[in-house]
Every structure is written in structure tokens, then in C-alpha cells.
Amino acid sequence: MKEFRIDRNDADQRLDRYLAKLLPGAGKGLLQKSLRKKNITVNGKKASPQDMVQEGDLVKVFFSDETLDKFMRDRKKFVGQGVKVLYEDDNLILLDKPLGRLTHSSKDCREGNMVDDLVAYLIQKGDYNPRLERTFTPAFCNRLDRNTSGILIGAKNAQALRLLNQAMQDREIEKHYYALVRGTFKDQTRVTKSGRKIQEKNKMVAGDDLAMETIFSPVISGDYSLVDANLLTGKTHQIRYHLQSLGFPILGDKKYGDGGQGQWLHNYQVIFHTKGDLAYLKDRVFTSPIPEKLDRIARDYLGQDYKEKL
């Protein structure tokens, strides 16, 4: 038998979800059976999978040490590269993601990614100890494609992650991207075109599965244009798909355009309109500078003085 005390980062989640993260090798069926037979209890009483665990609760698991060792997967070691921090407090951290780096690890292969970079940074700083945390790992509440650069919003504790995810759903965090496109983009345009993702191709096509909404505004117009994209919903490849549907493919986009020197899409700004526990961030604006590679390409297509027009 082993006891687990619910701490702040484990609290306010369903018991079955907590157990699935605590004992990832056990399987859903076995965990539910163990709850029915009181082989797992909360505060000495029988509990249901849907019960919410609270800080201070005592979870007892009546398994042998050998079984527990088998079901409790060791937390992996996080090895990351250095990060560029745009902002940080006790709850959240904003990182500047470079071009070419994944936000999360890939299913197909294990390679460096921003989540590992974030966790390694927080471990080194002393803000996160994986040996003490049973179910929580710092995470991002937004995602950028490998070839998109810019701001990632990370949560340093479970409560912050829940608050940030809810703020995203309530559109209290405004996200702006710069996109360099082919063609003269003249007028502000609101796009509500839905789509459907083809998993095997990792590509969005016309369909009704996913509702998406983006506001595009011209920043610099000419044979090539720099467009501001205000992302109102956050679906896979949304900006790229919407700009293709308007006839303005992003320069260098191999999947939704005709390729070239590299996909020119940069998440340059986030604006917080948050309330409640995150109200201290209200009206805060954070920006990420255009990366050197994209800057060189922009100078070629928009002129050496294009930044003076931003």
C-alpha cells in the first residue's frame, strides 16, 4: 500500500484523470475496478471516478510495491536548449520560439522541442521539481508549427494552466501574427471558413468539422504584402489555410503555397484582456522581434526600410 497526498498542482481534477497520470501503466479498466473494490480510496472512503480531488486529500492505493513500480512510469529526464524569456512571473512564462523547433515532441521521432526546453529551464531555475510533482508538468496553452516563430505562453503550475486555457477559450488573450504573402492585400478581411484535417497528410482542407475565424489586416501592400493576422480561434494551420483560401499564400509555405525560401509566419504579439486571478495581466502587451532570417527575406520583398512602416 502507498499513500499520496494531493497537493496544489494535483488538485481540482477528476479522480480518474489523476490516477491515469499517477499510474499510467495501469489502464482505465483496472483503475475503475480498483475503485469499485476499494483497492483505491480517498480519505479512507470509497470514491467514484468522477469525484474531484482537492488539496489535502489522501489517496491510498492498495497495490503491492512490485505492482506499483510497474504501473508508475518514471518521469523522463528533460534535456533542453537555452530559451529566450520574454516575460515571467510565478504563474506563467512567455518564451520566444525560434524557427525550425517543435513546440511539442513528435510522435514519429524524439527530438528537441520547446516543452522540454521550458521544463529544463524551470528545473535549473528551481521553479519545478519533477521528483515531487506526481501528475503536473509545465505546459504551453498555445502551439506554433515547426516553421512558425514567435510567442509561446507557458503555465508554471496547474491552476495557471487551467486559467490560461479558459482565457484562451473566452478569447481574453489576443494573438497577432505577421504573414508575408504574395499579392496586393488591400482591405481588412474577416474569414470564417471552416475546415477538415486530413491526419495522414497533416493538412487542412475544405469541410465543416472545425469552425475557424481570423481577421486579416494589411500592414504593407504591394506586389508582396505584409498582413496582420488576428487569430480568433486556434486550429491547426488556420492562418495558412485561410490565406490560401483568399488567394494570398504565405511566402515559402510548401503545404499551402508554392514553397520558396522558408515559411514567413511570425507570432509577434499577444495582448492580455484577462480577468479574475489573471487580472493583473490585463492590458499587458508582449512582443517578439522578427527573426533575422525572416527579416532578410522581408527586406528582399518589401524593401530595406519596411520596418519603418510597421
The identity of residue 105, as a single letter, is: S
Q: How many CB atoms lie within 10 A of CB 205?
A: 11
Does any domain span residue 107? Answer: yes
Convert 64-95 to b/e letters by CB count within 10 Å (16 or more is b): eeeebeebbeeeeebebeebeebebeebbbbb
* 101, pLDDT greater than 70: yes
Q: What is the C-alpha to C-alpha distance for residues 215 and 227, in angstroms, rounded to an integer? A: 10
Q: Are residues 178 and 309 in the same domain?
A: yes
Average pLDDT, the chain: 93
Q: Are residues 128 and 143 in the same domain?
A: yes
Q: Are residues 258 and 189 in the same domain?
A: yes
* 277, pLDDT greater than 70: yes
Boundary (domain end) residue, out of 56, 71, 86: 71
Does any domain span residue 89? Answer: yes
Does any domain span residue 122? Answer: yes
Q: What is the C-alpha to C-alpha distance for residues 302 and 176, in angstroms, rounded to an integer? A: 20
Does residue 253 contact residue 263 with C-beta atoms inside 8 Å? yes
Enumerate the H helices of the chain as residue ranges.
15-22, 28-36, 65-71, 114-125, 158-169, 238-246, 292-302
The dihedrals phi and psi of 102, each to the nearest 5 degrees, come to -70, 150
CA atoms within 13 Å, Cβ hemisphere of 310? 21
Q: What is the C-alpha to C-alpha distance for residues 111 and 123, in angstroms, rounded to an integer? A: 19
Does residue 191 contact residue 248 with C-beta atoms inside 8 Å? no
Look at the chain and report how many structural domains it folds into.
3
Domain that holds residue 248: 174-272+294-310
Query: What mean pLDDT do residues 221-247 have?
Result: 96
What CATH number corresponds to the domain at position 33? 3.10.290.10
- What Å distances lie between residue 55 and 28, 48, 190, 222, 281, CA to CA? 23, 17, 44, 58, 26
**Cell 471552416, residue?**
194
Does any domain span residue 282? Answer: no
Q: Name the pLDDT band for 111 (thresholds 50, 70, 90).
A: confident
Q: Are residues 185 and 260 in the same domain?
A: yes
Query: What mean pLDDT do residues 114-141 have?
Result: 90
Q: Are residues 215 and 202 in the same domain?
A: yes
15-58: per-residue pLDDT in tens?
Answer: 999 999 899 889 899 999 999 999 999 999 999 999 999 999 99
Cell of 234: 486556434
Q: What is the C-alpha to C-alpha distance for residues 47 and 86, in angstroms, rounded to an integer? A: 43
Boundary (domain end) residue, out of 120, 140, 169: 169
Residue 108 pLDDT: 62
Q: What is the C-alpha to C-alpha distance for residues 25 and 269, in angstroms, rounded to an integer? A: 41
Percent of the chain with pLDDT over 70: 96
Q: Are residues 181 and 306 in the same domain?
A: yes
The strand pairing partners of 218, in sequence order, are: 227
What CATH number corresponds to the domain at position 94? 3.30.2350.10
Does any domain span residue 283? Answer: no
Give the 3-state secondary structure of 117-140. HHHHHHHHHCCCCCCCCCCCCCEE
Query: What mean pLDDT do residues 134-139 have?
Result: 90
Does any domain span residue 280? Answer: no
Q: Are residues 147 and 180 in the same domain?
A: no
Residue 134 pLDDT: 80
**Cell 520596418, residue?**
307
Does any domain span residue 119? Answer: yes
Q: Which of 25-39, 105-119, 218-232 has the lowest mean pLDDT?
A: 105-119
Q: Are residues 133 and 193 in the same domain?
A: no
141-190: per-residue pLDDT in tens?
Answer: 999 999 999 999 999 999 999 999 999 999 999 999 999 999 999 999 99
Q: Are residues 28 and 55 in the same domain?
A: yes
Q: Are residues 13 and 50 in the same domain?
A: yes
Boundary (domain end) residue, out of 15, 46, 71: 71
Residue 73 pLDDT: 66
Rounded to two decimals, the pTM is 0.86
Residue 249 pLDDT: 94
Give the burial class of 216: count Cβ atoms within 10 A of its Cβ; 0-12 exposed, 13-18 middle, 19 or more buried: buried
Q: Are residues 96 and 35 in the same domain?
A: no
Does any domain span residue 277? Answer: no
58-100: per-residue pLDDT in tens?
Answer: 999 999 988 988 888 655 666 678 899 999 999 999 999 999 9
Q: Are residues 121 and 209 in the same domain?
A: no
Residue 199 pLDDT: 86
